[in-house]
């Protein structure tokens, strides 16, 4: 059956009308900033303190756009009679973002968590040479790196945190034992000289009063 005359025009007008009444998806950038996912690949930040100059990132970069210079330094032995050690000191770390293809391989392979993605993307330049970001600029990008997502409830504590907590607990226990030993020595010395033993800080007058009644000093009851 031949199409009804003018049906094509009506169909076209219906499409136009539908599109006109639909919400627009146009982003009014730069007046309105786009809402990017926090893990967007905008620019790479360098956390220099973590970098050991192992060169893995520069070696694995498919574009060869990471430039690293370093020199060796001798570190004196930690204990007398120990061996001197040598370590790499970073002289230059730069990424040429005019060559970078944002593959993220450098971030993946860094064994020391020294490289991170930042969602910042507004660093266009009129001179292509300015797209090579040196270490100071790469460090500045670190301020724009979002916090890592929270752990799942019930997830295992990260190894680094567990190790730090264990060390802190050990130090606290060691300090408490030292204080206890000091107190015991003082008490023994006081008993030997016939003086009353020194009171522990939480038994001092003012908190509970010298006669055992509640004191009126700060922290006591009024
Ligand atoms: S993101 Fe890829 S291309 Fe860019 S510096 Fe890292 S490894 Fe090289
Ligand atoms: S892989 Fe990481 S630690 Fe090694 S040189 Fe690159 S940024 Fe530094």
Q: Which domains does the chain have, with CATH numbers?
A: 29-144 (3.30.70.3270)
Helix locations, 88-134, DSSP H: 105-109
Averaged over 169-188, what is the pLDDT? 93
Ramachandran assignment for 202, one of left (phi > 0), alpha (psi -120 to 50 degrees), beta (any other): alpha
Averaged over 38-42, what is the pLDDT? 89
Q: What is the pLDDT of residue 198?
A: 55
Q: What is the pLDDT of residue 1?
A: 62
Averaged over 155-173, what is the pLDDT? 89
pTM score, whole prediction: 0.66
Q: Which two tokens stand for residue 98?
A: 């005019």
Q: 103: annotated binding-site residue?
A: yes
Q: What is the pLDDT of residue 199?
A: 57
Q: Using the mean position of ligand 1's atoms as its centre, give its distance from the Cα of residue 172 in Å.
A: 44
Mean pLDDT of the chain: 86
- Confirm if 19 and 28 have CB atoms less than 8 A apart: no
Q: What is the pLDDT of residues 73-132, one digit of tens each?
A: 998 888 888 888 899 999 999 999 999 999 999 999 999 999 999 999 999 999 999 999
Which of 104-118 are b and which e, b meaning 16 or more Cβ less than 10 Å from the residue's Cβ? eebbeebeeebbbbb
Tell me the three state secondary structure of residue 202: helix
Q: What is the pLDDT of residue 217?
A: 39
Answer with the residue of higher pLDDT: 192 or 178: 178
Q: What is the pLDDT of residues 22-37, one digit of tens each?
A: 988 888 898 998 888 8
Q: Using the mean position of ligand 2's atoms as its centre, give its distance from the Cα of residue 51 in Å.
A: 5
Answer with the residue of higher pLDDT: 200 or 90: 90
Which helix (H) or strand (E) segment holds residue 57: the answer is helix 56-60
Q: What is the pLDDT of residue 220?
A: 38
Q: Is the pLDDT of residue 207 over 60?
A: no
Q: Residue 139: count other Cβ atoms within 10 Å of its Cβ.
A: 16
Q: Which of 106, 110, 135 to mutate to test the pocket of ligand 1 (most atoms within 8 A of CB)?
A: 106
């Amino acid at each position: 059956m031949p199409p009804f005359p003018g049906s094509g025009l009506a169909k076209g007008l219906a499409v136009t009308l539908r599109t006109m009444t639909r919400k627009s998806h146009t982003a009014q950038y730069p007046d309105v900033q786009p809402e990017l996912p926090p893990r967007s690949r905008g620019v790479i930040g360098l956390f220099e303190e973590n970098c050991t100059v192992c060169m893995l990132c520069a070696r694995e970069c498919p574009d060869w756009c990471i430039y690293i210079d370093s020199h060796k330094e001798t570190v004196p032995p930690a204990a007398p009679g120990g061996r001197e050690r040598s370590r790499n000191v970073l002289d230059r770390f730069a990424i040429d973002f005019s060559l970078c293809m944002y593959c993220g391989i450098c971030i993946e392979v860094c064994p020391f968590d020294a490289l991170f993605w930042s969602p910042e993307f507004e660093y266009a330049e009129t001179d292509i040479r300015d797209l090579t970001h040196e270490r100071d600029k790469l460090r500045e990008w670190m301020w724009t790196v979002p916090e890592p997502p929270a752990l799942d409830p019930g997830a295992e504590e990260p190894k680094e945190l567990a190790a730090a907590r264990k060390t802190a607990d050990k130090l606290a226990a060691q300090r408490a034992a030292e204080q206890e030993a000091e107190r015991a020595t003082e008490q023994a010395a006081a008993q030997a000289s016939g003086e009353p033993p020194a009171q522990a800080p939480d038994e001092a007058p003012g908190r509970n009063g010298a006669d055992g009644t509640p004191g009126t000093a700060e922290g006591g009851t009024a």
